[in-house]
Every structure is written in structure tokens, then in C-alpha cells.
Chain A
Amino acid sequence: MARRKSGRPSKSLWSQTGPTPRLLFGAFAIAAIGLLGLTPKTLFGLSIAWPYAALWGAVGWGRVGLSLRPMVFLIIFGLIQDISFNAPLGCFVIVNLVVYGFSAWIASMFDVMHEPLVAVIAPVLQFISGFLVLWLMASALEDHAVRATPLVAAFLTTGVIYAIVHKMFDLGRAPGQPVGQTT
């Protein structure tokens, strides 16, 4: 770790950033990746399972507890996903908010910041719950059990990429909360 001359570890720019800029940055990343995902996704003739980027926000932002601003972003992203996936309006809103609520609930029950096992298992459970809710809703609304393969592929991509970029969706503390808990 980089240290100052005084011996104290130097703080990274990200750790000094407040929750609102972190939220905006994460939302921008979700929007950018989501927009890229709308284009035909084949690379060297292979089709790519694109991640559901909004779930990163739902899982990451929920770790600091419930807050209104992330909810608004998740609703907006959900509506955009509904339109782009040609789903009835509200489906992806429900998925995003359920995962967000689940993430906040787990964060209130366990120490998701410092317990390594919980920090790994909690997002996995949250992604599984999100994709399960999505599959159930899609199957109920389409009147038949929809294909699970694209969902599983998207789930794996979403999870693997979240493991790499999860810091981007860590707000440190809930937006509007007093300073003192930034990680």
C-alpha cells in the first residue's frame, strides 16, 4: 500500500469520494454498459451473454442500507430495460428493487463489508434471487416456462464482472448519511 512520508497510508481518490458522486459514477457505468448491450453482440461469430448491469447497482448500492436516490436510479434503469427487452413496463423495476431490498436486508443482518464469506456469498444469493424473480415473472407473463439458458449465461457474466468491478458500486455510506463510514 502506498504510504506518505509521515507513515500514514495515503487515501485513494475513490475512498475520499462521497456517496453521491459514487452513485452518479456507478449509474453512468450502468447506463454506458446497458447501452452497449443493446447493439448486436457477436464477437468472432460467437454471441455474447451481456450482463444485466442494473443488478450491479442493486447489489452494490444496497450494501449501505436503503436510500431514496439509488431507488430512483433503479426504477429508471428498470423502465429502460423493460422497453429494450420488450417486457411489460415494471418487470425489471420489480427485479431491481427486490434485489436492492434483499441486499439492504442482508447488509442490516450481517457484516457484508468485513466478513469475507458473507461478502462473497451475499452477492451470489442476491444475483440468484434477481434472476429467479426475473425468470418467474417472465414465465408467468409469457404463459410458458421461458428459456433459462440465456438467463444463466447473463447471470454468470453479471456475477463475474461484478466480482471485478464491485468497488465501483460501493457507496461507502448511504447518500445523505453523516460522514464517518466511508470505506
Chain B
Amino acid sequence: MARLSRSGQKPGKRSAKRLILFVFIFGAAALVVAQSAPQIRHVFDPVRTAAGDQLGGSDSISLWARISGQAARERRIRDLESEVRELSRYKAAAISMAERLEAYENILNLMGEPPVRGVTARVTAESDGPFAQTLLANAGRAQGVDPGAIALNEGGLVGRVIQLGEYSSRILLITDFNSRIPVMGEVSGVRAILFGGRDGLGSLTDLPERSGFIEGERILTSAEGGAFPRGLVVGEARLLGGDWRVKFGMANRSGGYVQMVPPPLIETPAPVEDIPAADATGGPAQASAAQGVRQ
């Protein structure tokens, strides 16, 4: 009689199942290794975006949202709606001031920031696991979100869209270790590169050797590299243990919504031979254009 194990399985059958388990584990490991090649990783992108659409594209309110205070949020929405009505009175004044500002910019030949248009979406899923820290928002290509769009909330910069589905967007948070954001101090003007730290605070690298930030000053995006527009609030500078760290502004105001604005579009410069000669355009006009692109 064949000897049974504690689980009541025959040794032959057990070893076959053990073999199947090893085959599955090695198969999964091979899949992981294969994805180290970008070409293979991109093959799975449609699967991820389709799953993201299913997870994040629905407008229905989840059970958890109901349990964890949906009623309070609805009350907040009503409050905000009344605030919007009040603010609409200021909108007319702002439009008038914007027109005047545009006129002044034209007089000075100043290259201003492009007007912001964006899509506001609800955060439907977030992952705080060991891998990239991301959010899933319920707006995608169909709602007009652009690849690489910048995500903002009431506190400031949230992150950047790294995967775009038809009805969902996955946003890489600025708190993630892999995110790199060129920033500057609002008062000091010191430039640095920001990346996420393990303790919830941002770390700064590539700082100038002889100057530092001012304690408590706001940290803004510097627009270097062209991935982010200039002047978005990222957080506050803190000096901890001799190192400059950033307390993220987005963490204070996580209302469950993000606004996704298109990334800045920098047109490719024209080749030198295409630029008209100085005598054809006139000296003063060229000098004026050069001043215009300075920020």
C-alpha cells in the first residue's frame, strides 16, 4: 500500500504537484526577468491600461467610499459648490486683469506662461506598496488627458502621468524614489533636483555647494528639463540633520481629486540656416526676441 503523507497525498502525485509548483514559480520569474527588456515590458502596457480602465474608469461610488464617510464628502461638495458661486463674481474681475496683463506682456515682449487647461479626475486607486508609488485617476485619453500630464491637487504638485488608458491615468507620485523633479527655492532661487525619500519627506540633490535654501521657504518647480511648468508649488524647505529636505504640499491636502494639466510644450528650435540673416530682419527686432525668451 502506498504511503500517504500528512495531507493524504500519494508521494508520486505529490512530487508531480511539486514539479508543477516549481514550473509556475520559474515561469513567473522568467516573466519578471523578460520584462527587464523595454520592448517586452511595453507588450504588457495594453493589459495594464485596460485593467486600469476597469479599475479606475468607473464613476460608481465604491462600498468603501460609502463606509468611510461619503456623506461627509458630499456635504463638502455642496460647500465647495457654494464657494464656486461666490468665486464666480471674482472671475469676471480676473478676466479683466488677465487682459490687462496680456497687454503689458505684449508691451514688454515678455514670454509668459501658457494658459492652464486641465482635466480634474477622482483618485480611484492608490498603491503604497514596495513598488512605484502611484495613483489611478478616472480620466484618460477620452477625457483629454495628455501623455506626461502634470497632476496637481489643492496642496500643489502631485506627480506626472506615466501610463494613459482610455478612461484612466496612472500618476507617478513625486514622493516616489524614482521621480526626479527640478526645483528651486521661491525666495533663495537655489536650484536642485528633488526625489522621494523613505520617510515621507523629499530629498534634494545637485545643490550648489555654497548656497542653501531658506528654512520654511516654498519649493517650486524650476521648469528645467521641460517636463514641468515653472512655479508649481511642491512643498516647504526643511533643514533636518544638516540636510535640506522638502515637506510635500500635496500630502496636506489630499481631497481625493487631482487636476491633470498638459505638460509644457517646447518647440524644437529651427536650424541655424533657416533663421533669416540679421540685415533682412533688422537688428533691434532680433534683440527684442532674445529678451522675450528670457524668464
Binding site for B on A (CB under 8 A): 36, 38-43, 47, 64-68, 71, 75, 78, 80, 83-91, 93-94, 97-98, 100-101, 104, 107-108, 111, 134-135, 137-139, 141-142, 144, 146-147, 149-151, 154, 173-174, 177-178, 180-181
Contact = CB atoms under 8 A, between A and B. Distances in A.
Chain B interface size, as a band, is 35 or more
Secondary structure type dominating chain B contacts: mixed
Interface stretch (B102-110, B123-131, B145-153): B123-131
Nearest to A38: B125
Contacts of A80: 51
B132 A83 contact: no
Interface string B1-41: 00001111100001001101100110111111001100001
A66 B25 contact: no
B32 A97 contact: no
Contacts of A39: 62, 64-65, 124-125
Given A47-B128, A107-B7, A174-B8, 16 more contacts: A36-B62, A41-B126, A42-B68, A66-B7, A66-B17, A78-B28, A86-B170, A87-B130, A88-B32, A88-B35, A89-B32, A89-B44, A142-B130, A144-B177, A154-B129, A174-B9
A159 B89 CA distance: 55
A101 B25 contact: yes
29 contacts: A36-B64, A38-B126, A39-B64, A39-B65, A39-B125, A65-B6, A71-B21, A83-B47, A84-B55, A85-B127, A86-B131, A86-B132, A86-B134, A86-B170, A87-B129, A89-B31, A90-B27, A90-B32, A93-B24, A101-B25, A108-B7, A138-B129, A141-B32, A142-B132, A146-B131, A149-B198, A173-B8, A177-B7, A181-B8
B128 A66 contact: no
A65 B9 contact: yes
A173 B24 CA distance: 22
Contact of B41 (A84, A88, A98, A149): A88
B8 A177 contact: yes
B256 interface: yes
Contacts, number: 156
Nearest to A113: B6
A173 B9 CA distance: 10
A68 B17 contact: yes
A137 B134 CA distance: 18
A63 B176 CA distance: 37
Contacts of A36: 62-64
Given A90-B31, A94-B29, A138 B130 contact: yes
Which 3 A-B residue pairs are closest in the complex by CB-CB distance? A65-B7, A138-B130, A90-B31
